[in-house]
A = this chain, B = another copy of it.
Amino acid sequence: MKISARNRLKGTVVDVTKGATTAHVRIDVGGSVVTASITNEAVDELQLKVGDSAYAVVKASDVMVAVD
């Protein structure tokens, strides 16, 4: 499946924490850690676990820009 989302950052899963309904998945992308808040069901379906290769995917309209 090819998706319109412009941003796909490849990395390695470094943490998976499930909550009651919402999980936090952390992906190391070239030294920066990206946090994703997704459903527990998605974690199960993708069988995400520490050490897996994975992409952090973000739609362009969800990216902001900041400057110091």
Binding site for B on A (CB under 8 A): 1-10, 17-25, 27, 29-32, 34-39, 41-43, 45-46, 48, 52-68
Say whether B6 contacts A39, CB under 8 Å.
Answer: yes
Say whether A53 contacts B36, CB under 8 Å.
Answer: no
Give CA–CA (A67, B5) in the complex, Å: 12
Q: Oligomeric state, in number of copies? A: 6
The secondary-structure label for the interface of chain A is: strand
Say whether B21 contacts A17, CB under 8 Å.
Answer: yes
Q: When the two chains form the complex, which single residue of B27, B42, B58 contacts A62, counting CB atoms closer than 8 Å?
A: B58
Give CA–CA (A65, B57) in the complex, Å: 6
How distant is A1 from chain B, measured CB to nearest CB, in Å? 5
